Chain A
Amino acid sequence: MMQRTIRHLLTTAAVVIVAMGSARAADDAASYFRQNCMSCHTIGGGRLVGPDLKNVTQSKDRAWLQRFVANPKSFLDGGDPYAARLKEEARGAVMPNISGIDETKASSLLDMIEQESKLPKSQFAGLNISYQPFTSVDVANGRKIILGERHLANGGPACISCHSVSDMAMLGGGRLAPDLTKVYERMLGRKNLASWLQAPATPTMRPLFVNTSLTNDEILSLVAYLETTARQPQQASDTATLSFLFLGLGGTVLGFIGADTIWRKRLRGVRKPMVRGDK
């Protein structure tokens, strides 16, 4: 009698723990999806750069999906026909290897996607963005955000510290990251760009914005601004390169002159002046 009670209690406890565990796994998978996948995929929101994942588990067998998600690059390199078709559909965009993913993680993601697919409206259905023209206020705000004149609400860094946009000041901004002038075209429009900005997933941007994500207002302004720059006729970005070159050369010359002045008392040889009889 006693034993049976204990066994019963233990079984209940085990069930509760497993249930809690799987609930937590689902939460983890959702937040992981938000940070890493949402910039290219929706669930039931239509295609972005990557395909809509709604009911993806029904269109391809699970084992394949699991291995593909864990290491997409190797599939593409390995010449898998289905993967090649996906690449074609994405107009050449290739799914990168996502950091911190393995087959277990991939499996829990697929579970989560399956769950979300059953819902009438998934939390990952993507942004609803209007196709009305933006107002000039939005554009101006976007420019301010890029320049860092307006701080990001959640404390992210200003775009210009790494990126450049052609109509910015003399040098067009930082040179560490891609030029954003035509990013609107590269990202194939508003919806894609906005989704990307929700959770930028590149290895450089992800750690910067994982805890300081952009607000919807900011995203709207940025998209507005980037759309305007992309539609403007291409300015001569050569000017920026040239002025960068000349500034660099000028700076170097000035640096040399400055160094020569600061260290003018340095040792310039002892023997020759002595033999010449200089004092």
Chain B
Amino acid sequence: MDVRSQISMVFHLDKCIGCHTCSIACKNIWTDRKGTEYMWWNNVETKPGTGYPTKWEDQSKYKGGWELKDGALRLRSTSKSKIVFNIFHSPSMPSMDDYYEPWTYDYGELFNAPEGGDQPTAKPISMVTGKYLEIEAGPNWDDDLGGSRIYAANDPNLEGMNEEQKAQLSAVERLVMFYFPRICNHCLNPSCVAACPSGSLYKRGEDGIVLNDQKRCRAWRACIAACPYKKMFYNWQTGKSEKCILCYPRLETGQAPACFHSCVGRIRYLGVLLYDAERIEEVAKRPDEELIEAHRSIVLDPFDPAVLSQAAANGIHDSVIEAAQKSPVYKFVKQWKLALPPHIEFRTLPMLFYVPPMSPVMAQKHGDVISHTSDDLFHDIDQARIPMQYLAKLFGAGHEAKVRYALRKQKAVRIYRRWLTVGDIDEATADRMLREADTTRDEAEAIYRLTSLCPFEDRFVIPPMYREEAIEMMQDPLEAKQTTGFGFMEGPARGL
């Protein structure tokens, strides 16, 4: 057992309202520089939809992630032989059009436009070429376009569904959508790191944050093709790749990352998970249907004495272990089994987990009365407007069992709370549902509290990073005290 710690995340999709506040918070802090205009380290997608970049989940086009070939894990995008032939050009990279051409507006037009019959308009102007452009796409072009015949209908997750099911998703009064906020998953088996020819990408030892060394990056862009979530971005200005850094400067000062901090719906949870690094390869090689369970099993119990002694032997600080014991992520992922990794079939073992969203039930119409109830308490999970098959593609590697389990438990908690607060459901029914959903009153209460009544300190359990001690090894933290004020760090530049 090789115990390591990872700052890990849960996004509770049932609470996401798709307001994009997270994206804006991230953009304003990190990607408002030249060369990063098109990057959205955090973005919110409407599902069903094609996302950003367009159809990123379609690995037949983008060749991201790992595949299991002859019992070995192989990168889809590259290999020792492929890299020779693709040394000057990686063939599976999204073009700017697949992201979008970033633009701003020429606001001068508002004042200079000649007098006419119409209101003057600020003309859109490209932030790349500086020329006027006709906007054809944006980073959330299909925002709220559930049911769109272009975007929703081309969602790669619809693969394998029959025509009737697909038609239903775009039928009037039945169409449905939910939001899917995405950041870098800070995977345990990151394909971007594996693909990097210059060794500039690395997974930070103390907390598992995946970072790109701006000095070692040589613009090969192998990571762009290799990341199946398309969360590596290339900065054309500096000639370096960039990615979500999980706001590590904020974490190091005890603050939650900007997107977490600003989340209006409080859907984001952050905490430490202890995991067994020895088992990563073995787990990543499991067949699809076993992946979720195996991934969960790699997460270790922070109360187990054997784990604790190994953690201490690996130099994990007591305060980190304490944080791991209080981690909301551990509860969602391991104890309650509510949170599931996105597209685990890419085999990068993402460490960002999603609580799958409940969706409106199919309404039944009896004469003029529209009814939403039924005798079978869980029926609307299977008859919800988002087909289970669809959610299974996203969160279950195509297998429904784990997704159904998570949804049933959420539903049971709702019924239980309804019995407590509204009282139109009797106690026996509530208890039966809890039992059938493999949970208890205590657990349901805990789930309810962490879902609904969660202050900052419950949602974000950030271990102290001892940054001041860590940098002491390299420099005296007080070296520049009283000598410099605001200054400039060395910017990244193309070349060696």
Contacts and interface: CB of A to CB of B under 8 A. Distances in A.
A232 B323 CA distance: 90
A274 B50 contact: yes
B85 interface: yes
Interface in B30-50: 50
B206 interface: no
Contacts of A277: 150
A60 interface: no
A266 B90 CA distance: 9
Interface stretch (B91-99, B281-289, B410-418): B91-99
A267 B93 contact: yes
B61 A270 contact: yes
A274 B91 contact: no
Given A266-B91, A269-B95, A275 B150 contact: yes
A278 to B, nearest CB: 11
B55 interface: yes
A230 to B, nearest CB: 44
Contact of B91 (A267, A271, A275): A267
A269 B98 contact: yes
A267 B61 contact: yes
A267 B54 CA distance: 12
Contacts of B97: 269, 271-272
A123 to B, nearest CB: 52
Nearest to B86: A263
B250 interface: no
Given A267-B92, A269-B95, A272-B97, A262 B85 contact: yes
A192 to B, nearest CB: 46
Given A262-B85, A275-B150, A270 B55 contact: yes
Contacts of B126: none
Interface string B80-122: 0000011001011111011000000000000000000000000
Contact of A263 (B50, B62, B89, B98): B89
B92 A266 contact: yes
Nearest to B58: A270
Contact of B98 (A262, A265, A266, A270): A270
B147 interface: no
B1 interface: no
Nearest to A277: B150
B53 interface: yes
Interface in A241-279: 262-263, 265-272, 274-275, 277
Nearest to B92: A267
Contact of B54 (A262, A265, A271): A271
Contacts of B92: 266-267
A269 to B, nearest CB: 5
A273 to B, nearest CB: 10
Given A267-B94, A271-B98, 14 more contacts: A266-B91, A266-B92, A267-B61, A267-B92, A268-B95, A269-B97, A269-B98, A270-B54, A270-B98, A271-B53, A271-B54, A271-B55, A274-B150, A275-B150
5 contacts: A263-B89, A263-B91, A266-B89, A270-B55, A271-B137
